[in-house]
A and B are shown apart, each in its own frame.
Chain A
Amino acid sequence: GNSVTQMEGPVTLSEEAFLTINCTYTATGYPSLFWYVQYPGEGLQLLLKATKADDKGSNKGFEATYRKETTSFHLEKGSVQVSDSAVYFCALMDGNKLVFGAGTILRVKS
């Protein structure tokens, strides 16, 4: 079946550092791809999405590009803040359901 693989965490960065969280997928066809964020004690919120190859999703300084050649959807941010500390999930739409990666914990130190 379709699946998502994310880099393991936790990722620990200093404030204003550059962030990359790797995500690759295995799927038949070209599914829609998503990044969700979960802040401590909260539910998941959509961060950004892309629905076709070469689409770039962006929001709150985060961005990710749908790369069908490398089946990847890496999340990047140029300058992280302490408030970005959270768990980040890459996901794809598999028919009627979202399939999630294992999640990557991000910790940003001031």
Chain B
Amino acid sequence: DTAVSQTPKYLVTQMGNDKSIKCEQNLGHDTMYWYKQDSKKFLKIMFSYNNKELIINETVPNRFSPKSPDKAHLNLHINSLELGDSAVYFCASSLRTGWRGTEAFFGQGTRLTVV
């Protein structure tokens, strides 16, 4: 049973479209994250939710809007897609936020290509 699952795995879309990526975790964790990995493999946090509450919102364009309907799900909606949004997006979860040694579990990633 997959711990952190994301859909879709691949997403190819045209500039200007709106798309969503879904994430679900079955680990009973309180905290979920979205990370973006660029073409050079660099990983940067975008958002974090703890028990459905937004706790981290890095300098991400307003076109990106996360939504957490419950603590097991964190979706990412992107409006008006741009070429520069092409990247791999990873969802992750951890048991508690800020606890010493708490590790994060990652999904397999969604490769978004904007053409």
**Contact segment of B59-67, B74-82, B96-104:** B96-104
Q: Is the CB of B90 within 8 A of A32?
A: no
Of the four ranges (under 10, 10 to 19, 20 to 34, 35 or more), the interface on chain A belongs to 20 to 34
How many A-B contacts if CB must be within 8 Å? Answer: 59
With a cutoff of 8 Å between Cβ atoms, the chain A residues found around residue B106 in the complex are: 36, 43-45
Instruction: Tell me what chain A mostly uses at the interface: helix, strand, loop, or mixed.
Output: strand
A89 at the B interface (CB under 8 A): yes
With a cutoff of 8 Å between Cβ atoms, the chain A residues found around residue B102 in the complex are: 32, 93
Kindly state the separation between the CA atoms of A9 and B41 in the bound complex, as whole angstroms. Answer: 12
Kindly state the separation between the CA atoms of A89 and B106 in the bound complex, as whole angstroms. Answer: 13
Q: Is the CB of A43 within 8 A of B33?
A: no
Residue numbers of B with Cβ under 8 A of A are 4, 31, 33, 40-45, 48, 50, 55-56, 90, 92, 97-98, 100-109
Residue numbers of A with Cβ under 8 A of B are 32, 34, 36, 38, 42-46, 49, 51, 87, 89, 93, 95-100, 102-103, 105
